[in-house]
């Protein structure tokens, strides 16, 4: 019997291989989630920076057009730096940063009571 045939019949090996495949898939998912989280944070920061910078510019000075050109030139393989996308990033930041719909995480809203306090 060939070594590869023996290994394939070894239940311990097959169980280990199954676990290994699952780990690879989980790492791939975690990496994708991490990348997406980092990109969302980047776009949030970019939206905030655009809003801040535009407060110091004149209407019609071409700020977003120039920013789009500069970023697209520097990162030609990266999509998302069109003038229109930068406008949408700014709008996204402005909407969500001013929205009262964003609440604190539930855990931060928990009130802690001191049961030894007589007023409790």
Domain residue ranges of the chain, discontinuous segments joined by +: 7-98
Residues 6+ apart with CB under 8 A from 50: 64, 67, 86, 89, 90, 93
Regions of the chain where pLDDT drops below 50:
120
Check: CB of residue 79 under 8 Å from CB of residue 98.
Answer: no
Res 6: pLDDT: 66
Q: Is 9 helix (H, G, I), strand (E, B) or coil?
A: helix
- What gap in Å lies between CA 16 and CA 74, rounded to an integer? 45
Structure token pair of residue 45: 């920061």
């Amino acid at each position: 019997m060939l070594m590869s045939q023996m290994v394939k019949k070894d239940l311990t090996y097959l169980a280990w291989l199954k676990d290994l495949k699952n780990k690879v898939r989980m790492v791939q998912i975690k990496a994708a989630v991490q990348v997406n989280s980092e990109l969302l944070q980047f776009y949030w920061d970019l939206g905030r920076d655009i809003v801040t910078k535009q407060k110091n510019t004149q209407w019609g000075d071409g700020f977003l057009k120039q920013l789009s050109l500069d970023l697209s030139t520097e990162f030609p393989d990266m999509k998302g730096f069109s003038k229109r996308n930068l406008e949408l990033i700014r709008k996204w930041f402005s909407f969500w940063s001013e929205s009262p719909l964003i609440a604190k995480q539930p855990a931060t809203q928990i009130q802690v009571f001191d049961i030894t306090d007589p007023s409790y």
